[in-house]
Structure 1
Amino acid sequence: MTVSLTNGLAWSALQGFSVEPMTVTQVAKSKPGSVPDCSGEARRPLPDGRDRYTISEVAAFTGLSAHTLRWYERIGLMPHVDRSHTGQRRFTSRDLDWLAFVGKLRLTGMPVADMVRYAELVRLGEHTFSDRQELLESTRRDVLRRIDELRDTLAVLDHKIDTYAGARRASERA
């Protein structure tokens, strides 16, 4: 069974299993790690439950600048953002969910071009699940390689710390 997130992403295609869809507000209220989610623990105050947000409200919520949000829209990383009758951007909760996921992709080190490609695949619909899965699996392999490198680096740091701690103890005994 495939369950879609509020922004049209097929969650089972992202994670390899089915879960109930969650909004940013629901994710923020859940315990970190208790439910698989794409947006992680909320670190900023949540919007007040409305479903229309200005660019400055979204910038404050996400930590992204208004310039970055406009750039995301211009390069195709954001879906079309509705506008008010005065031309002001009006973001939705769906947009916030998408931006939370894009934030996770950024943390993986995924190149912007690949993120844009992924966004294009999402817009093309469900028949692109296998392409999306392939792109995410490739990114996952890259993340696992980086984790291994960081573990090796951590082992070197731990060794150096132990060396200095031992040397300090020896000098204190002398």
Structure 2
Amino acid sequence: MLIVALALEAVQPPPADNGWARFSAHQARSRIAVDVAIGTTRSASGKPVYWVRRTTKRPGQWAEVSRTDSVRCPAVLTMLRSMRDLPAPRPAPPLLDNADIVVTADGTGYELHAPAAYPGKGEGEMTLSSNIGTPLADWVERSLAALRPCLPPVL
């Protein structure tokens, strides 16, 4: 039993590690913010293990932090693979060709910050942000739902 506990502890991220990717859903009206950090560590055999840390903040309460990894939760790998299929938005220069500016003061703001690359052209970083009703919003909500059984709320 001790060996299992030590093996699981070995794949936990260091507390200060913010990972290589993050996504979030911040509800404007309720002021509830859910932030998810994603990182990589190695198992004892040297294989990569992906970890996920979800932080939920509610007004007037301590932040709830839950962690899991791809060893204990296969949904982590499914979520990471689906991240690659997320369509990027097109640039929208304000007022160009009489385009309207759409401002949403309420709702939920979604964001994804992750490594990115054009195939065969090297790596960089990208940040996507949007409100409800977008592919990013759908992906974040699906990802949070898929991870929920592996990241129970802290009581």
Q: TM-score, normalised by structure 1?
A: 0.27
Q: Quick check: which one's helix share is greater?
A: 1
Which entry has the higher C-alpha Rg, 1 or 2?
1
Compare relative contact order (CA 8 Å, sep 6+) and give the higher one, 1 or 2.
2
Q: TM-score, normalised by structure 2?
A: 0.29
